[in-house]
Structure 1
Amino acid sequence: MATIELTGDTFTETIENNDIVLVDFWAAWCGPCRQFAPVFEEASNKHEDIVFAKVDTDAEQELAAAANIQSIPTLMAFRDGLMVFSNSGVLPANAVDDLIRQIRELPMDDIRAQMQAQAAGQGGGGCGCGGCNCGANNG
């Protein structure tokens, strides 16, 4: 499956209406972004059940700011509408494949329960922050 371009108008709908979404925040002038682009495209062809999307940070500055993008490329992964991974920098193909395997294996019911407990002020570790035991550690 080819990658799709996301905009401020399509971002939330895409994240919420697909099981797994990988989003590459990039810019045309960015050398590391150009280096990562073929890796991302190859992964999109291998994993056709996953939505692979790109956000041009120059064209979508408000979206990049809302996503708190500090450097590019930044890869974000969402599962069931929740961000479960975020990493700045170029990832090699084997790391992207491993990331996808880990995302598929995430215990989403446990993660949602932890997030609900945290939101209710009852503790819990949250998800995707790298500081809990949910398996969604960044990096």
Structure 2
Amino acid sequence: MSEVISSADFQSKVLEAPGKVLVDFFATWCGPCRMLAPVLDEVAAENAAVKVYKVDIDQSPDVAARYGVTSVPTLVVFVDGQVVNQTVGAQPKQNILALLNA
């Protein structure tokens, strides 16, 4: 299951993490975000080498603003703390896997 992290955790869990990290910028009121949640849980369960975290844009607006998140859900892939890929909108599992492997 993907873990919801706060602004305080973002530095250590995402920016300082080695390897790939997938961050889902979401909101509790967002229907597509709720539809995407079980897909992200599957991706997390099947890809041990990728950490998957969720950032609530209403609870951590500073992080969302730093990465230009204006629409949710937004998925951002980090490798060794650097943004390497991102997409906006609910995505099917194969698109998320392609995003991670691009």
TM over 0.5: yes
Distance 1:96 1:63 in 2: 21
For 1:100, the equivalent position in structure 2 comes to 100
For 1:9, the equivalent position in structure 2 comes to 8
For 1:120, the equivalent position in structure 2 comes to none
Distance 1:76 1:8 in 2: 15
Q: What RMSD, in angstroms, separates the aligned Cα atoms of the two structures?
A: 1.2
Task: Summarize deviations over 1:24-61 as a string: whole Å, max 9, x none.
Answer: 00011101111111111110000012110000111112
By percentage of residues, which structure has more strand? 2
Contact 1:18/1:51 (<8 A) preserved = no
TM normalised by structure 1 equals 0.68
TM normalised by structure 2 equals 0.91
Over alpha carbons, which structure has the higher Rg?
A: 1
Unaligned ranges ≥5, structure 2: none
How far did 1:100 drift? 2.3
- Number of aligned residue pairs: 101
Distance 2:29 2:82 in 1: 30
For 2:90, the equivalent position in structure 1 comes to 90
For 2:57, the equivalent position in structure 1 comes to 57
How far did 1:67 drift? 1.9
Percent sequence identity is 35
How far did 1:95 drift? 1.0
Contact 1:23/1:53 (<8 A) preserved = yes
Unaligned ranges ≥5, structure 1: 103-139
